[in-house]
Each structure stands twice: as structure tokens, then as C-alpha cells.
Amino acid sequence: MRVKDKYINPFTDFGFKKLFGSEPNKDLLVDFLNELLQKKTGQIIDLTYLPPEQLGRHIDNRKAIFDIYCENEYGERFIVELQKAKQNYFKDRSIYYSTFPIQQQAEKGQWDFKLNAIYTVGILDFVFDEDKEDQDVFHHEVKLIDQSTKRVFYDKLTYIYLEMPKFTKTENELETHFDKWLYILRNLENLTNRPKKLQEKIFGKLFEQAEIANYTDQEYAEYEESLKVYRDLKNVIDTAFDEGKAEGLAEGLAEGVEKGKAEGLAEGKAVGLAEGIEKGKDAAIRLTALQLKQEGIPNEIIVKVTGLSIETVEKLS
């Protein structure tokens, strides 16, 4: 096999599951989650991987496919998701996914409704549109808050999002163990050697598992395919959104001018721009889905990225 890079890209499906989703490397996930959560109730000692595909309570309900789904020794559930590209209604999807581990805790017969904690962790290879002007906050931890008291109302449901493009610390600026984890996620693919600041035993194992030269021919072929899907996905989405925005803005401006004849040109342009932006979003999403289909990306991944229904994706041609 011909190795071009020394270490895998952790934002590929293969790379992410190789490092965090396999039983032999469970200690990597445990260490990462302990640093991420800093749980006051005690550290995670062990995790059990649960089936990633979850079905609704009825056969016709929409299913969910998690990247990593696991449970610790206290019965707490963890959904760990890698999101490679912007998705329409991404936050809605996170909330929807968290309902599966809630419903699964229901017991038959007499039950007092006591629930174990649920954590949804999103490692994002993009920045939320609403937060792109704020470069200081990349680690979002969301709970149910009482607006009157500003205190946590319910502490068993937590959503954590890491906007990785905002993490820009260099090796010399790394201060905490968590900093080092984020640095690895952000830079692993581009490293040629294990950095001097990352000499902890857990990172020694991670770099060993991430080194492509250690893979079998079969593993290397699977990684190369996963890397191709990742790069095609990023390229298609970037192109499609640019084209969709341009198309929507042009259409909106044209409509705005027409409305401007009756309502005043300035107001017409404003109305047209607003409507054009919305149409541009929809056009971009559908164009993205279509181009992904043409690239041979599986429908399940297209649904996850775009937020469109599987029925809509299947009908695109």
C-alpha cells in the first residue's frame, strides 16, 4: 500500500470509529469524555458500546443511527456524534436523537419515571452560523435553565458541541489535558510526528492506533474510501451552498425589483433579498443532496448531512 499521510484523519467515519468506537480503544473514549465532562459525580470508569441503530417505538417511526452510543457503569447514556458539514436543523436533530435513550429507560409495569443522565456530544467540523462572529466560545454546554433564576432546572440532559474550526491553539499554547485532546482532533492528519507536549501514555496509544503504516491492506483500503467520501462531501457541500446562495440571491433580487415597482424600489429589494435567502438555503440543500448522490455518497449519509427525509433524497434525480 502507498501511504501519503502518517496519521489518519479523525473526521472520517473510519478514523473516528477506529479511535473511539472500537472495544480495544475504549480507554481513549473514556479519557476524552472524562476531560470533556469534568463530572462532579465521579469519573467514568468503564463504558459499554450499545447498538448504533435505534428504532422508534413503532415500526413505522423514523430510526436514528448514532456514530457512537454507549453506557457507563452508572447507567448514564452517551451519544457521541461527528458532524463533518453543516446541516439544516442540526440542533433539532440532536434533540430528536436524545429522545431515544430517554424512551429506552421506560420500564414495564410500575415505574416512578426516574431517569439516568443523558449526554449528547457533537464534535463539529464547522461553525454555527449564529456564532461565527464569536471566536472566543467554541465549547458549548447546554442544559435546561430556569430563565427566572438562571440556574439549572434539570441536570440529567446535557448537549455539548465543540466547534473545532475555532480551536486554534498551537502546541506551545496547550495548557490542559483537554487542550491536548482538542489539538489532536484538530491537527492529527497533518502531523508528521508525535508532538513533545503530548507524551502522556494515553496519547502514546492514540498515535499508535492512528498511524496508517500499522494498518492491514484491508484497513487501509477502508480508510482511503472513507477519506474520499469525507473530501467529496466537503467539496460538494461547499460548492453547492455557494451556488445555492448565489441562485437564491439573484432570484430574490429579481423579485425584489418587480415588487419595488409597486412598493418602492428600496423596500422591494429588501423583501426580495429576504425571500431569496430562504430560497437559496432550500436550493443549496437540495443541490447538495443531488450532487452527493451523483458522487455515490450513501443516502443515509446524505440524510444526516442535509436534514432531508430519506424519501426526498431517494426521489432526487
Cell matching residue 180? 491536548
- Cα-to-chain-centroid distance, residue 227: 16
pLDDT of residue 257: 45
R_g (Cα) of the chain, nearest Å? 22
At residue 259, does pLDDT exceed 70? no
Convert the pLDDT of each residue in 285-303 to its tens digit.
777 777 777 777 777 777 7
Mean pLDDT value across residues 208-217: 95
pLDDT of residue 69: 96
Give 230 or 167, the one with higher predicted confidence.
167
Mean pLDDT of the chain: 83
Cell matching residue 314? 431517494
In three-state secondary structure terms, 211 is strand
pLDDT band for 63, please (50, 70, 90 cuts). confident
User: Does residue 33 contact residue 44 with C-beta atoms inside 8 Å?
Assistant: yes
At residue 173, does pLDDT exceed 50? yes
In three-state secondary structure terms, 248 is helix
At residue 277, does pLDDT exceed 60? no
From the list 292, 27, 248, the residue with the least C-alpha distance to 314 is 292
Give 96 or 131, the one with higher predicted confidence.
96
Lowest mean pLDDT among 144-148, 169-173, 252-256, 313-317: 252-256
Lowest mean pLDDT among 53-62, 223-232, 296-305: 53-62
pLDDT of residue 61: 61
Helices (H) and strands (E) in the chain, counts: 9, 8
At residue 210, does pLDDT exceed 50? yes
At residue 226, does pLDDT exceed 60? yes
User: Does residue 316 contact residue 306 with C-beta atoms inside 8 Å?
Assistant: no
Give 267 or 9, the one with higher predicted confidence.
9
Convert the pLDDT of each residue in 122-144 to its tens digit.
999 999 988 888 888 999 999 99
Q: Would you call 59 exposed, middle or buried from its count of C-beta atoms within 10 A (0-12, 13-18, 19+)?
A: exposed
pLDDT of residue 106: 84
Cell matching residue 136? 472566543
What is the model's pTM?
A: 0.77
Q: In what order do the strands lie in the sheet with 68-72?
A: 47-49, 68-72, 77-83, 118-124, 151-163, 139-146
Beta strand ranges found along the chain (DSSP E): 47-49, 53-54, 64-65, 68-72, 77-83, 118-124, 139-146, 151-163
Give 292 or 204, the one with higher predicted confidence.
204
pLDDT of residue 175: 95
